[in-house]
Amino acid sequence: MYKFIDGGVTAPQGFTAQGICASIKPSNKTKRDLALIYCDTLCNAAAVFTKNLVKSDTIAVTKEHLKNGKAQAVIVNSGNANTCNADGYEKAVRMCEIASDVLGVDKENVIVASTGVIGEILPIEPIEKGAEAMRGKLSKDGGTNAAEAIMTTDTVKKEIAMTMTLGGKTVTVGGIAKGSGMIHINMGTMLSFVTTDAAITADMLECALKEAVEDSYNMVSVDGDTSTNDTLAIMASGKAENPEITEKNEDYKTFVQGLTEAFRMLAKKLAADGEGASKLLVCKVSGAKTKQDAIKVSKSVICSSLLKAAMFGADANWGRVLCAIGYSGADVDIKKVAVSFKSSKGIIDVCKDGAGIPFSEEKGKEILLENEIEIIVTLGDGNSEAEAYGCDLTYDYVKINGDYRT
């Protein structure tokens, strides 16, 4: 039903992008730090944002612009979060004006976002010059440059593109994301910009976005800190010419499932690239009484600092899994719980009926030395399931964040 293809945010019809080094941080002379994404037609659009009470003013401006469910462009910078600044709102508005001038769109149809250090004044001059340098240079190949431009402590770019069939027409979804630290469950957990050429109303697009995020981005945690700038925005050009989705019909369900799969792939990329991380952790929970219980358990396990540290040390310390289940708040009969660890090196059962069972520590270490680990939890209470995404906790996490600002 879904096919992953080459490309990113510019894969759908109508979209181009570009990213450039604007030296928003004077010390940055080479890394791209300013991006533009553009559609040649006005799109239906929607977004979800951080739940943190401390928010970047870019969020306030974007929320205002999306009240009518329309957008045509995105401007985003890294290197400075434009958060907790007296002139933050003014600077966010100015960024929209800059994009408006360069791209020839209404400033009210621009989505704006920033990421980087909190509490430092955003210099607007580099953004003006950088955007001007991109005038006429947005392209189908520019999406990967845009993906780089939104990175902060990320070590790799996060891009994805996929196709699906709606009403007999091929529909494409493309996206980029950034996130490495200050990432915790409760949308958004990062910056992500998604495009599609699906024909879908703004109301249905918003519903689809909120549904898809619950089983994907909202299941990611790196360090327990919810960012101040989290934004996930989507624009739909309608150029695929599928019958417009106006209600929650079969095409709508297919679209939501496709979005969810795309977001899950990006969510795993975010988790695997957590600050200092050496391993992607996926906690798969089954046998829960309710979906909410499964979510609580999987999130609790993936967020446990003790468990994350054990995974870094390749220590099959299953007791830390049970500990996290116990304080998760889920309705669980601990005496029914089973735990296994799995990787490309195999699978090992370490706990059954809430108690330890004999296993080979050597085999356990071999399994946990791999760079992608599944923590498999079977609750034995029902039929609901969920999975959450995280990473191990390494020495480098402290090194990175010990001098992040300076």
At residue 331, the pLDDT reads: 97
At residue 186, the pLDDT reads: 54
More confident residue, 101 or 26: 101
Residues paired with 114 in a beta bridge = 77
Mean pLDDT across the stretch 211-238?
A: 81
Evaluate if residue 225 carries a pLDDT over 70.
no
> Which of 14, 8, 30, 145 minimizes the C-alpha distance to 76?
145
> Which of 301, 265, 51 minimizes the C-alpha distance to 173?
265
Mean pLDDT estimate for the chain: 92
At residue 397, the pLDDT reads: 76
At residue 275, the pLDDT reads: 73
> Helix, strand, coil % (nearest 5) of the chain?
35, 30, 40
Residues paired with 110 in a beta bridge = 73
% of the chain surpassing 90 pLDDT: 77
pTM: 0.87
Q: What's the CA gap between 73 and 17, in Å, rounded?
A: 9
All structural domains of the chain: 2-272 (3.60.70.12), 280-402 (3.10.20.340)
The one-character DSSP state at 6 is S
pLDDT tens, 337-363? 999 999 999 999 999 999 999 999 999
Cα 313 to chain centroid distance, Å, stands at 26
> In which band, very low, low, confident or very high, does the pLDDT at 131 lie, cut at 50, 70 and 90?
very high
Evaluate if residue 189 carries a pLDDT over 60.
no
Is residue 216 within 8 Å of 187, Cβ to Cβ?
no
More confident residue, 242 or 225: 242
At residue 406, the pLDDT reads: 60
At residue 188, the pLDDT reads: 41
pLDDT tens, 68-125? 999 999 999 999 999 999 999 999 999 999 999 999 999 999 999 999 888 899 999 9
Other residues' Cβ atoms within 10 Å of the Cβ of residue 384: 17
Evaluate if residue 224 carries a pLDDT over 90.
no
pLDDT tens, 205-217? 999 999 999 888 8
At residue 187, the pLDDT reads: 47
At residue 190, the pLDDT reads: 73
Catalytic positions are 189
At residue 295, the pLDDT reads: 94
Backbone angles phi, psi at 227, to 5 degrees: -65, 160
Mean pLDDT across the stretch 305-330?
A: 95
